[in-house]
Amino acid sequence: MGQRKADPPTQAEGCDPPRRTGPHRRLPTPESKRIVLLGKTGYGKSSLANIILGENLFTVHDSSVSGTATCRSETRDVSDRKITLVDTPGLFDTERSEEDLRSEVLRCITECAPGIHAFLIVLKVERFTEQEQAVISRICEYFSQDILNHAVVVFTFGNELGEGKKSRSTSVRIKN
């Protein structure tokens, strides 16, 4: 009598339950990549989320007052991958208390259960001043400095560079 083969695993790490594509074939379905957008009020987080997902899902406000009051997530297929983006209220929002803002931004962790794959730190394309450094420092206060190991900085408002101005690659040292 031969040995009975063990059943194949039913779930690969980091994948949804397998789907059958034939009578005996199982392929893992990739889980959604969960990405959180962080940045100052008015820096274009909601607009960036709409561009990435290819739809106007997040409300865009043309004002210096934060239009995003609560964390909100949307999931769509982008280039054959499921992407979940979480739009967060703007940092340094003058309309709410620091503690209220912090608890709402940290709520994005529950929106991204079982975990966050990446953070997009959204900055407006302009001089990197103490104000931009303060945004980075605040993000590190909220999440820990380890967030920078999982973050990408995205510069918005590139269309405002104006005629004749060139963008250039620069290295910005982010300190905490």
E strand or H helix that includes residue 98: helix 98-106
Question: Which of 40, 70, 46, 74 has the alpha carbon at shortest distance from 60?
Answer: 46
The answer to whether 124 touches 130, Cβ cutoff 8 Å, is no
Judged against a pLDDT cut of 50, whether residue 151 lies above it is answered with: yes
Phi, psi of 164 (to 5 degrees): 90, -15
Phi, psi of 15 (to 5 degrees): -130, 155
pLDDT value at residue 87: 93
**Cα separation of 31 and 83, whole Å?**
9
pLDDT value at residue 25: 42
> What mean pLDDT do residues 41-64 have?
88
**Highest mean pLDDT: which range of 22-31, 44-53, 59-68, 105-114:** 44-53
Average pLDDT, the chain: 78
Does the N-terminal peptide bond of residue 18 adopt cis geometry, omega within 30 degrees of 0? no
Token couple for 68: 């995003």
Q: Per residue in 99-116, pLDDT tens?
A: 998 998 888 887 788 889
Domain 30-158 indexed as CATH 3.40.50.150? no
Judged against a pLDDT cut of 50, whether residue 136 lies above it is answered with: yes
Q: Residue 165's pLDDT band (boundaries 50, 70, 90)?
A: low
pLDDT value at residue 65: 61
Q: What is the dihedral of CA 36, 40, 41, 42, to 10 degrees?
A: -90
> What mean pLDDT do residues 58-82 have?
83
Q: Is 99 helix (H, G, I), strand (E, B) or coil?
A: helix
**Cα separation of 34 and 92, whole Å?**
24
pLDDT value at residue 122: 94
Q: What is the dihedral of CA 149, 151, 152, 156, to 10 degrees?
A: -150
pLDDT value at residue 137: 93
pLDDT value at residue 30: 60
Please tell me the pTM assigned to this model.
Answer: 0.73
